[in-house]
Amino acid sequence: MVAPIVVFGLVDLTVAGGRVNDSQARVDSAAHAAARTATLYGTPAAAAAAARREAAASLGQARFSCQNMSVQTDTSGFRAGGTVRVVVSCDVAFTDLNFVPLPGSKTVSGDAVSVVDTYHETTP
């Protein structure tokens, strides 16, 4: 009687681990896409807004459930030849697992830095 519960619990733990690994890869990819997109804009404010849109679009395309998404864009180096750094994070929930719902969630985050083209015209 206890064996099925243990087996289903192990299945849920395996699914939760896979979900975290998949989520980490997707958040890393979203951060990279957002940083690259931000370098294409002319002002730091426009770059930050574009990074947020790109991260949301990247995470939304892949059937990925990301709760409480946060996008932080560092445009302090936003100039020709400078860099833009984007950190994307979100919570991955486990409460919807089928057999033994696990409590809580895990926050995953990824960051990426992209270089602004040397000949790109920027406005500080």
Note the pLDDT tens digit of each residue in 82-93: 999 999 998 887
The residue-averaged pLDDT of 86-112 equals 80
| The pLDDT of residue 5 is above 70 | no
DSSP E strands, the chain: 67-74, 83-93, 105-115
Assess if residue 25 is contained within a domain: yes
Position of tokens 């733990």?
13
Of 38, 10, 32, nearest to 97 by C-alpha is: 10
| The pLDDT of residue 42 is above 70 | yes
Assess if residue 123 is contained within a domain: no
Assess if residue 95 is contained within a domain: yes
| The pLDDT of residue 94 is above 60 | yes
Assess if residue 92 is contained within a domain: yes
Assess if residue 121 is contained within a domain: no
Assess if residue 52 is contained within a domain: yes
33 vs 92, more confident? 33
102 vs 38, more confident? 38
Which residue range(s) make up the domain with 7?
2-115
Cβ-based neighbours of 4, under 8 Å, separated by 6 or more: none
How many domains is the chain partitioned into structurally? Answer: 1
Assess if residue 86 is contained within a domain: yes
Assess if residue 76 is contained within a domain: yes
